Chain A
Amino acid sequence: MSVVVYTESEEGKFKKVAFEAVSYAKGIADTMGTSVTAVTVNGGNASELGTYGAAKVLEVSNDKLQNFNAEAYADVIAQAAKKEGASVVILTSSVNSKFMAPLVAVNLEAGYVPNVTELPSSTSPFRVKHSVFTNKAFSITEINTAVKIIGLAKNAYGLKENSAAGTAEAFAPNLDAHDFDMKIVSVDKATDKVTIADAEIVVSGGRGLKGPENWAMIEELAKTLGAATACSKPVSDMGWRPHSEHVGQTGKPVASNLYIAIGISGAIQHLAGINSSKVKVVINNDPEAPFFKAADYGMVGDAFEVVPQLNEKLKEFKAQNA
């Protein structure tokens, strides 16, 4: 009857989304009068998961699973869920979790709801709220199967400390040859940059920046803030910035604490992609730009004057508040 939660890690360290997922799992477990079992794959220190409410940690330690492998990881989660008699399985909304979630769902014959933003409003029937239409609306959805799979939206629930005296247990799932039909040839990852998925702050530029040669000031501002860089669709279409930075309905969704849009007018498709961000700031020289209607804070001004000034003042602010 427990709630099983998959806790993501990288190079032996848990990611922030892992703690958020455990916090959320504990919230559901309390409502249902049960406990949380976390599953780790070559993960970090299990006691860290106890801080957020994991009563038990199933630790998978397997060299063949050093790199993420959707098929094998899905088998791990499904077997852990079966072993624990889980009624609810919690995943996150990371690229990897979304890759394996449908495989876990079929394996467990379980209804799966992604992009969940709140604890269930009811557990019998089991109803959860999740974002749909790329954050332009929410759906209250009922899951009818015995096992329920939830994909928790990023930054939706937050971290909640809820100490549990956790026990760790080694777990060795059965993996078969089909799990390894997919071979990784190479990985190309910028390790020195904050990624949009992990970023608390995102600095994003649009056509108002006039050309790729002007992106240095966006990157400098992002560096000062420890932020990821992003862009609007026309900018990625014109090849000024890579598609991986394109934020919007057909690009990446952003759920950061702070989203700073510079020289972006705010097309409906772009706004849909950033709706989940908590605080939105717009800098644009056109006071009629639609983005101002969606923003929390706005500054009407020339990006080429405002951004360098903002960067310098933020550096001073950071130095004073270090």
Chain B
Amino acid sequence: MKILVCISHVPDTTSKINFTEGDTKFDTNGVQFVINPNDEFGLTRAMWFKEKQGAIVHVANVGGLETEPTLRKALAIGADEAIRVNTPATDGYSVAKQLAHVAKEGAYDLIIGGRESIDYNGGMVPGMIAKLIGANFVNTCINLEVDGNNATAIREIDGGKETLSTSLPLVVGGQKGLVEESDLRIPNMRGIMQARSKPLTVKDPVDTNSETQTVSFQKPAPKGAVKLVDTVDELIDLLHNEAKVI
């Protein structure tokens, strides 16, 4: 089985979010970038397939040179090869078009991306790749088994879960549950050394237009101070008469 894991390069979850250039650009100053957590669950599941069932695992992202440490981390975790499409990731649709091109060229059986990235929360890239290459698609996937050309996936639905059966090629929008958090891997020294000699291919982008573009950013309005109460009676009164939520 040939697996492609799409990796988004995102600010880590503890990052303070600020903007520069008149609130038109994300301020990367002092920000640590990581593999998007939802993608990391997918990468770890891909490693499971590699080790238990035999698979080749490639990782790909769309972005500039600054995203390569994130791809190298994926190689250190155990991916066999990395691909970077050398263009800024401007919007979800154009990123999906670039990755769909990579996916088609590589004739992958299984393509795993995160349910959404934790920066722009678009949640559109895996589904768009699937539609662009004519593959099946499961989103919010929390369990995935592959047997030959058949796949069984469990996806999270509101208030429960749903089990689906389908065939490869398949695109998955994954999240926690594909593997548990405790199964995520921290690259060890051997992995880091091996990653240095693994191939990282830089590809030119295909021609696309940006369907959407960010004009500016805003921070939420500052919040007033918390109102501390001493008794539950006081709390109920405020929730009923002031906040009007009960």
Q: Which residues in A have some Cβ–Cβ distance to B below 8 Å?
A: 68, 70-71, 94-96, 98-103, 105-107, 110-115, 127, 129, 131-145, 178, 181-191, 193, 195-198, 200-201, 225, 237, 243-244, 246, 249-251, 257-258, 268-269, 272, 275, 278-279, 281-282, 292-300, 306, 309-310, 313-314, 317, 321
Q: Is the interface of B mostly helix, strand, loop or mixed?
A: mixed
* Cross-chain contact of A105 among B37, B93, B236 (Cβ < 8 A): B93
* Cross-chain contact of B226 among A98, A132, A297 (Cβ < 8 A): A297
Max chain A Cβ within 10 angstroms of own Cβ: one of B119, B125, B142: B119
Q: Which residues in B have some Cβ–Cβ distance to A below 8 Å?
A: 11, 13-14, 17, 19, 37-38, 91-93, 96, 118-128, 130-132, 134, 136-140, 142, 152, 155-167, 173, 175-177, 181-182, 209-220, 223-224, 226-230, 232-233, 235-236, 238-240, 243, 245-246
A113 touches B220 (CB 8 A): no
* Cross-chain contact of A138 among B128, B138, B220, B227 (Cβ < 8 A): B220
Q: Is the interface of A mostly helix, strand, loop or mixed?
A: mixed
Contacts of B123 in A (CB 8 A): 98, 101-102, 114
* Cross-chain contact of A186 among B11, B14, B37, B162 (Cβ < 8 A): B162
A299 touches B158 (CB 8 A): no
B121 touches A195 (CB 8 A): no
Max chain B Cβ within 10 angstroms of own Cβ: one of A70, A133, A313: A133
B217 touches A96 (CB 8 A): no
Given A137-B218, A184-B162, A296-B243, A143 and B212 contact (CB-CB distance below 8 Å)? yes
Q: How far is the CB of A304 from chain B (nearest CB, A)?
A: 14
Question: CA–CA, A258 to B132, complex, Å?
Answer: 40
Contacts of A313 in B (CB 8 A): 232-233, 236
* Cross-chain contact of A246 among B128, B176, B182, B213 (Cβ < 8 A): B176
B211 touches A110 (CB 8 A): yes
Q: How far is the CB of A194 from chain B (nearest CB, A)?
A: 8
Contacts of B212 in A (CB 8 A): 111-113, 141-144
A139 touches B217 (CB 8 A): yes
B215 touches A182 (CB 8 A): no
Contacts of A105 in B (CB 8 A): 93, 124, 128, 211
Contacts of A141 in B (CB 8 A): 212-215
B158 touches A131 (CB 8 A): no
Q: How far is the CB of B62 from chain A (nearest CB, A)?
A: 16
Max chain B Cβ within 10 angstroms of own Cβ: one of A111, A115, A294: A111
Question: CA–CA, A309 to B232, complex, Å?
Answer: 7
A95 touches B157 (CB 8 A): yes
A298 touches B227 (CB 8 A): yes
Q: How far is the CB of A207 from chain B (nearest CB, A)?
A: 15
Q: How far is the CB of A272 from chain B (nearest CB, A)?
A: 8
A181 touches B236 (CB 8 A): no
Q: How far is the CB of B236 from chain A (nearest CB, A)?
A: 5
Contacts of A139 in B (CB 8 A): 120, 214, 216-218
B211 touches A111 (CB 8 A): yes
B166 touches A183 (CB 8 A): yes
Contacts of A193 in B (CB 8 A): 159
* Cross-chain contact of A189 among B139, B157, B240 (Cβ < 8 A): B157
Question: CA–CA, A298 to B175, complex, Å?
Answer: 33
A132 touches B119 (CB 8 A): yes
A137 touches B220 (CB 8 A): yes
Q: How far is the CB of A73 from chain B (nearest CB, A)?
A: 12
Question: CA–CA, A187 to B128, complex, Å?
Answer: 25
B126 touches A102 (CB 8 A): yes
B164 touches A183 (CB 8 A): yes
Max chain A Cβ within 10 angstroms of own Cβ: one of B37, B136, B156, B159: B159
Q: How far is the CB of B246 from chain A (nearest CB, A)?
A: 7
B140 touches A186 (CB 8 A): no
Question: CA–CA, A182 to B170, complex, Å?
Answer: 10
Q: How far is the CB of A240 from chain B (nearest CB, A)?
A: 14
Q: How far is the CB of B33 from chain A (nearest CB, A)?
A: 13
Q: How far is the CB of A119 from chain B (nearest CB, A)?
A: 16
A94 touches B158 (CB 8 A): yes
* Cross-chain contact of B235 among A129, A182, A299 (Cβ < 8 A): A299
